[in-house]
Structure 1
Amino acid sequence: MTTIHVDGQGIWIDGRPRTLLCASLFYFRLPREQWRERLAQVRASGYECIDVYLPWNFHESAPGRWSFEGRRDVAAFLDLAREEGLYVIARPGPYICSEWDGGALPAWLGLDEELRVRQNEPRYLEQVTAWFDQVLPLLAERQYGAGGSVIMVQLENELDFFDCEDRPGYMTALRDTALRHGITVPLIACSGQGDLAGATGDVDGVVPACNFYPDDDSPDIEAEVRRYAALVAERGVPLLVTETNRRHRTLRRLLASGAKLIAPYLQSSGWNFGYTPSSGNWGRPGNFMSHGYDFGGYVTSTGLERPEYAEAQVLARVMETWGPQLALATAVSYAGLDCDFPTSPQPSALELDGGGRLVAVPHLGGEPGTAVVEGVPVEVAPGACPLMAVDVPLAGATLNLASADLVARADGVLVFSSDVPVTVVLDGTRTEIPVSGRETLAGTTLVVLPSAEAARLRSVDPDGTVHLTDAPQRPEKAARTAVREVRRRYDTAPEEPAGLHASPPTLESLGVYRGRGAYRATTDLTDVDALLLTGAADIVDLTVAGRTHPPLAGFGAARRIDVREVTGSVEIDAVVEIWGHANFDDARLPALRLGALRGLGTLWKVRHTTDVSALWTVHGHWAGTPAPIRVLGGWSSTRVAAPLTYTRTVHSPTPSALHLRGVVEPLRVSVDDGEPVTVHTDSPWVLLTAGTHQVSVTLPHHPSGTAPRAELLALDAVRDWSCAVQDDELLTAFAAGAGRTEEVRLPLALKPGEEAWLDVDLPSSPDGYLVRLDATQVRVTGWAGGECVGRVWCGERPDFSGGDPDALWVPPNWPGLTLLAQGIQGRGTPEIRTLWLGGPTD
């Protein structure tokens, strides 16, 4: 009977202990026709496992509308993984993070004000159950022991980052649903910052796993990882590192410190097709994720192998060579190391099953160095971390020391991988072997291969002859081809009317979960010098009285808009585009909260502004009764950094906004003794209802700090909005259609706010195209093969992360390329000068 289980010793598959290298590979970020090729590429790297998220909102695109076909056919993907000989760790969420739209939580969940995501709450769990009812049967049919290769199923993802009120109840509900659907392989839950109970709720039957993202050059990785290996061992389970950095020197350090599963994120890259990237992750405080999803792993987004791919093959061969001895090894701190280069002060060694040790010697510097191991000086290459054998019993001999990776062994033959000379001590006799050298010592043939050849090692003969696979052919970088003529469509994409509304509705409430919407209102701006926009996300192109303003992308932060040159009754137009919902729960800005909705927010007319920086009473430190009155931040005290509260009464007959101008460090504001909110540089505003309020501001005392100024803005909301929407399906259908066009020779100049639909003829290519633009002040969305292939923002733009933000990828055999170009206000004229077509090496 085929089985898998985990215990304090490790991972057991069919009764055999295993240590696994695992690469993330996501079907939803690749063309379906490339699935098998990428799976085979991972297997050829020596990795035996993949982990794969299953994004809920990729399969349920609207409430109750499910799809598991085409690129969404996850069952077919899992079947291919089994055919390619790969184990699978399936991660169905419900929340996945993964820099994906909303962390895979459907956007419409935010429309129910009583539904609370990632909580033990009935409305949310009802929705999760509907998702699990769809996806868990697919996994149960493909789990190990039932004809498939799924060896673990992850419940939730890094819950210890989230303020979940009832972790045991929530995780119990997820576990019980998985068991009800017949999941028998281990259920795991990963901790994002080391809080094992926070990730699992300490629920029976849920195995805690760890995600580590250390500084690769940190000397303290070993001590941290060994601590967690000991903690999970107390719970009777192995250390499963479900996410970590990609550098193989770091992976070796994790292995030597006790990890039994090592899953660097992200080894095999891909693409965020469509409107699927998240927004808000890792920024200051927010940014946008690019459509290229690439963090420098061993396979690029277009499928090219980086040099790290060969490092993966060497490490995999080391692990295969040591086999069960390594899989059952115990990590310990190693004290017998002396180095002339920077290294860990507490290096790790593996006590091998059957005797001997593997000592990890990380070289954290950039120059060649020497380590003294067991009293023997040995060379260590910079940036390396060889796993050195110490006192390992062999058949009829003892390998006292080998200063390099052992990548193959047979009767009387040991093959090492190293880019510096190797020291071997066998039965007390010492020898030095140069790179590409061989020697016989105590009847054993010792062979040293450079790492590039060791990565291609196929087999070794009894006489020490090694056989290599052919060297990979590195594709040459192809020259870019310029496209200077396009066809501009006469027609523009239709809009669907979305009614009249007193206040701007969210796009999700209009049925747009990905896409964009248009808002229009007429209002009187007589004696109004400024507008205040609050709660807008993601990208707002605002036009007031025919004047287009630069795009607003503040993740819900308030933005003041100068309209001093405008008077009388004017028309206001806003086009709001969803880039993606937040995939993390970040309280600093409204749109960065998990589950936050998108749309125009509220547009206010600023009627007048009053300075309220004076007349604040002081509470705290030694301030007595009656409370002293000072300007905000004006109290003098020796209690540096101790919190101090200032309170005053403010009044406005209309809704108002308290603006704390010049905030440097975050501070807390409460109104009428309500729940405090955090105010900081990126969002120094607090909205108030009409009337009289007592406002309290608490900030750490800083004698020489700059105190914020306080001003109160009286507001009047702009009302009576007409709306129209274009969701992603409407836009994609229009892009795939045909219509009247005219030939246009580039450069193409656009006015701010103007849009142009452009059809581009692509020559046939078996490799696909990376499309780049020589352009300024233009946002471009591209479609090919019936799908949106991404968006590029040229010119002044917010921060981007996650991959190459400047290219669109048109996969091989995806016909046609249609672009929607939008001119945006800023420095310079919106213009597309040239389109450049490059290959996968571009």
Structure 2
Amino acid sequence: MSRFVAFDHNRLLIDGRPRVLMCASLFPFRVPREQWKQRLQAVKSIGYHAIDVYIPWNFHETEPDIWNFEGQHDIEEFLRLTHEVGLYALVRPGPYICSEWDGGAIPAWVSTNGKTHVRQYDDAFLGEVRKWYGKIMPIIARQQYRGADADDGGVVILVQADNELDFYACHEPGKYIGALASMMRSYGVDVPIIACAGQGDMLRAGGTAEDVSPAVNLYPGDNDVDVDAQVRYYRRAADTYDVPLVVTETNRWHRTLRRLVGNGARFVGPFLQVSGWDFDYGTSVNNWGRVEAYMTHDYDFGGVIDPTGQERPDADDARRLCSIIDALGERLASATISDDRLTGIHLDSAEGDRFDETRVGVAVGSLDLHGGGRLLTFTNVSDDAADIRIGDAPDDALSDGGYPALTLPAGAGAMVVAGLPLGDGMMLRATSGELIELDESGHTLTLSAPTMAPGRFGAIIRPAHGIKADDIHIHTDALTAHMVNGDIVVQGDHGTATIGQGQSSWRITFTQPEHHVVLGCAPHSSVRSVAISLDWPSWTLCDGDVLHDALPLEDMGVYSGAGRYRAATNMRGALGVVLHNAADTVNVRCGNSGTDWQACGGVDAWIPFNEPVADDTKDIVVTTRIWGHSNFDDTGLNALRLNGKRGMCGAMSIERVLDIGSGWRVGYNRTDPDNAERLRENGLVLGDAPVPRCGFGSRSTTAWPHALVYTRTLSLGGASACLHIEHGQTRCEVRVGGRTIGIITPLAPTLWLGEVPDGSELSIVVNRMWGEDAGRIALLVGDELTGWTCESQGLKELRASCARATYVRASLPVLVPGGEGRWIRVPGASIRGSEYSNNTIVRFDGEGLQLTAFTDEYCLGRVVLGPLPGTVFAGGRGDLFVVPHGEGDLMLYAESTRERGGTLRGIMLGGSVDR
């Protein structure tokens, strides 16, 4: 094991010294390579000690057995730069990383092949992981930290196995994580290996795995009083595993991060302090905000470094927190949670003697520092200012333990020390300022007013034996100092005081918070003219001849981009189509008419036409576009499963829509007799002479929850059909002829039945929890379409079209007809003229368009202008691109998302990311 990095009970040791580390997420696959060093320096400049680095498997294995570790993919060069800048690194190579990245970084050809059980103790999956680890682990092993004096550097101090496994239904988490750790060790990894719990379940995240230490992600409410208690809870949980509290992810606000440090966390990793964006097709889908959500290419949660590499205002508080950590050093890194945390703490406005955090809205963290003294962390989450004192003495008896008044405005926080031994018999007994520098050998310390409560503050110092009033020297009128019962009371807002004589004297400096953040941006400007091209990207025929049934795109070797399915058929008279298991974004064209784009979620989708198809048609064309594979595993929609496929599995032309809301026989669920008996006991008794006949889902009762079966006979003449429930809020289990077909839910209101033999019995188990509306039910009757071919289109085809396109000048607005696309070129001179700090912000005014952006080197991602039915956009901004310095013209492929066409009205350059 590593001699340089170790867990020693509840301490993190580096070079044998205990440390508390602040760690910022910085992902090189989301930052242009030319700007890697600037982002690393930005992290260093705010005082952070380390970065956390996801390494996505499918970013490096770009196609099956095709690997890329060059250029933007050169992770080893990024780690070398990290060493050059002077930061440590936690690396997280998966195999699963989440990170709102396509498939959580598990390649789609692994997750969807039907042979592997991803994130399980499964030989097939572990065999695939071994290929990935065989590529990445030697790099990680070479870049491990090898001591401060090592000539060849190395920055990796921790390695994480998988990610947030407790969110996933892993059958044997200990064995799975243990197998990953064993592989890591076999490639030479000797630093500590951790497994993080995403929702606090350390055991289910792999806590039983041998040679693996549990860590935890904490995402509390920033304004909850309970944050401190939550941290202490997991600090004690880490103690039971005999490891330090490593918080791999948490909130970004430094007022909250103080609370983690002030309650015993040794490693604090606020997630996404350095923002960026997803190049190419790196985006994912998930369940953020609603089911389902498309993640924007812009990956920015408001961290302290924005996507262009500029500091946000909270950077000054980052520097302050890191200064406190560094000033206390090993005292903090070996601190323990105070047993008497609230003893002697008083709020002037509070009633009674007991300090009640919940009642007054002021949270308290207290650590007993190694070597003596306490670090007290106060957070005022109330709506009123709080005057806090520590000690039981009256205001004029400071030497008996009274504390200089610490006034915290509403929403403010502070970290102060009390009873801190300084050596040579001196002690910093109390202060309402924050300790930001301490040099015991040089006999200097610096106190500063809290960043959130600037102004006059004080300190009480117990001097060394023999110090008299004549030994106190004030070097500014902004400070006062006097002795009270042997203690020295210093008050003011800035300046320096010297206590003592000669080499044994101490220099005490008072300062105010410094503001280093400079907000700047390029001035706003508008693009007046562009160039456009009508060149359309080509489509590549997928392997195979004419198919009978449509296949998912992954089954045809297509893992990103779009798939275009075509079947020869006459759609005349069709009312619409049902697409079977369609994802992600789809639209349908019949002859000269088509439908708007919509998100489908991998379920059966009923897409009615605005009006029946009036003319004969040669074929039907269904275009499906992959936004990304899910980075979560959610059973609410097929597309949200980690193994969920894209494209479609078939289509049905709908010729009749039959309202079947009436004529249902209602009864108990015969497959669950225990439930039927419970319902009878609760008063839901059904007669059978005759069996009640009613509307679908209409049975009134006082027994909740309940499940009843609604049954009717179908006479469709052997036609094919789908079931559709509009506005339903229940879970419906559908059976035809006694055979279970599937489930209808509010998220998946349509279900493919296929061919329905005449006289089939349709039974639906309606599960109602509290009186939900069962919805309006209809049968969609038609014909299954066969004889499909499929073509694909991805970045390769788009880049080839971009390269060959010829342009003509045009003025805005640009109109893109339904079903078509246009190349729009924004001149590089305009981009350069609005550049600030090596990047140009480009925003758009328009609707009904999807824009895919290219520069000389990069595909910058995709933006959808206007809503996209069936989804929302989450994770960042959906209205901008960031164009890196030196990238020439900006090339936009604009596709209409609406049948009536889309419009790009304006292109705005410059300004701030945070407008």
Query: Could you state the TM-score of these two structures normalised by the residue count of structure 2?
Result: 0.84
Distance (whole Å) between structure 1 residues aligned to residue 418 and residue 510 of structure 2:
24
Deviation digits for residues 754-813 of structure 1 (CA, Å, limit 9, x no counterpart): 211122212135623211122222211110023211211112334211112101111011
Alignment partners' CA distance in 2, 1:436 and 1:102: 63
Q: Separation in 2 of the partners of 1:607 and 1:548?
A: 17
Q: Residue type of the partner of 1:495?
A: W
Report 1:307-706 matches (<5 A): 307-332=313-338, 334-336=341-343, 337-339=345-347, 340=349, 347-375=364-392, 376=403, 377-395=405-423, 396-410=425-439, 411=443, 413-418=445-450, 419-427=454-462, 437-440=478-481, 463-464=507-508, 472=516, 474-498=518-542, 499-563=545-609, 564-567=611-614, 569-570=616-617, 571-608=619-656, 609=658, 611=660, 614-619=664-669, 620=676, 621-622=679-680, 629=692, 631=694, 632-640=696-704, 642-646=705-709, 648=711, 651=714, 653-666=718-731, 679-690=744-755, 691=757, 692=760, 695-702=763-770, 705-706=772-773
Secondary structure of the residue aligned to 2:867 is coil
What residue identity is the alignment partner of 2:703?
R
Amino acid at match of 1:130: K
The 1:784/1:526 distance shift into structure 2, 3 A limit, reads closer
Alpha-carbon distance between aligned partners in 2 of 1:347 and 1:594, rounded to the nearest angstrom: 41
* Aligned equivalents of 1:359, 1:674: Cα separation in 2: 65
Shift of residue 462, structure 1, vs aligned partner: 6.0
Is 1:835 the counterpart of 2:898 in the alignment?
no
Separation of aligned partners in 2, 1:494 and 1:258? 58
Q: Distance in 2 between matches of 1:356 and 1:176?
A: 42
Inter-CA distance 111–823: structure 2 relative to 1 (3 Å threshold) = same
In structure 1, what is the Cα distance between the partners aligned to 2:244 and 2:904?
Answer: 55
Corresponding residue for residue 783 of structure 2: 716
8 Å CA contact 1:96–1:157 kept in 2: the answer is yes
Q: Partner of 1:361: helix, strand, or coil?
A: strand
Deviates more, 1:250-259 or 1:342-351: 342-351
Distance 1:535 1:193 in 2: 31
Q: How big is each residue's C-alpha offset from its partner over 1:347-403, in whole Å with a ceiling of 9 and x where there is no partner? A: 321111112211211111344322233345431133222122222233323333222
Change (3 A) 1:323 1:271: same
Do 2:720 and 2:783's aligned partners in 1 also have CA atoms closer than 8 Å? yes
Contact kept? 1:343, 1:361, Cα under 8 Å: no
Q: Distance in 2 between matches of 1:673 and 1:52?
A: 52
Tell whether 2:824 aligns with 1:807: no
- What letter matches 1:792 in structure 2? V
Matched with 1:172 is: 178
Q: 1:175 to 1:649 in 2, by over 3 A?
A: farther
CA pair 356-678 structure 1, distance change in 2 beyond 3 A = farther
Q: Name the structure 1 match of 2:279.
A: 273
Instruction: Give the distance between the partners of 2:34 and 2:477, measured in 1 at CA.
Output: 40
- The answer to whether the Cα contact below 8 Å between 2:433 and 2:447 also exists between their aligned partners in 1 is no
Note the C-alpha offset of 1:201: 5.1
1:745 aligns with 2:837: no
Deviations 1:480-501 (A, max 9, x none): 2222222223532222122532
- DSSP 3-state at the match of 1:144: coil
Preserved CA contact (<8 Å) 1:485 1:746:
yes
Letter of the 1:615 partner, please give it: R
Opposite residue 420 of structure 2, the aligned amino acid is V
Q: CA deviation at 1:699?
A: 1.8
* Aligned counterpart, 2:114: 113
The answer to whether the Cα contact below 8 Å between 1:769 and 1:840 also exists between their aligned partners in 2 is no
Partner SS state of residue 479, structure 1: strand
Distance in 2 of aligned mates of 1:625 and 1:778: 55
Where in structure 2 are there 5+ consecutive unaligned residues? Answer: 148-152, 351-358, 393-402, 495-504, 670-675
CA distance in 2, matches of 1:378, 1:685: 62
Q: CA deviation digits over 1:688-739, x for unaligned, max 9?
A: 344546645252343x54333443334522222232211223323433x244
CA distance in 2, matches of 1:22, 1:784: 32
Closer/same/farther in 2, CA of residues 769 and 477 from structure 1, 3 Å limit = closer
Partner deviation per Cα, 1:93-138 (whole Å, 9 max, x = no partner): 0000001111111111244213221112222111111101100010
Give the count of matched residue pairs.
826
| Cα gap change, 1:475 to 1:326, in 2 (>3 Å) | closer
| Residue 796 of structure 1: aligned partner | 867
Conservation of the 8 A alpha-carbon contact between 1:659 and 1:711:
yes
Letter in 2 for 1:485: S
In the alignment, what sits opposite 1:454? none
Structure 1 residues 466 and 670 mapped into 2: Cα distance closer, same or farther (>3 Å)? farther
1:676 Cα deviation (Å)?
Answer: 9.8
Residue in 1 aligned with 2:8? Answer: 7
One-letter amino acid of the structure 2 residue matched with residue 699 of structure 1 = N
Give the SS at the match of 1:80: helix
In 2, the alpha carbon distance for the partners of 1:761 and 1:138 equals 40
Q: Which residue of 2 aligns with 1:458?
A: none
Deviates more, 1:692-701 or 1:476-485: 692-701
How has the CA–CA distance of structure 1 residues 390 and 795 changed in structure 2, closer, same or farther, with 3 Å as cutoff?
Answer: same
2: CA distance between counterparts of 1:601 and 1:182?
45
Work out whether residues 90 and 153 of structure 1, in 8 Å CA contact, stay in contact via their aligned partners in 2.
Answer: yes
Aligned partners of 2:686, 2:819: CA distance in 1, in Å?
59
Q: Which residue of 2 aligns with 1:456?
A: none
Task: Give SS of 1:599's match.
Answer: coil
Counterpart in the other structure of 1:755: 821
1:668 is displaced (CA, Å) by 5.6
Fraction of identical pairs, as percent? 33
> Aligned runs of 1:72-91 on 2, under 5 Å?
72-91=73-92
Q: Does 2:227 match 1:241? A: no
Matches of 1:725 and 1:447 in 2, distance apart?
73
Partner AA of 1:753 in structure 2:
G
| Equivalent position amino acid for 1:43 in 2 | K
Q: What residue in structure 1 maps to residue 258 of structure 2?
A: 252
How far apart in 2 are the matches of 1:12 and 1:636?
A: 66
Distance 2:284 2:620 in 1: 29
TM-score where L is the length of structure 1: 0.91
Q: Is the 8 A contact 1:733 1:786 kept in 2?
A: no
Q: 1:425 Cα shift?
A: 3.4
Deviation at 1:590, TM superposition (A): 1.3
Structure 2 residue 842 is matched with structure 1 residue 771? yes
In 1, Cα distance between equivalents of 2:246 and 2:158: 11
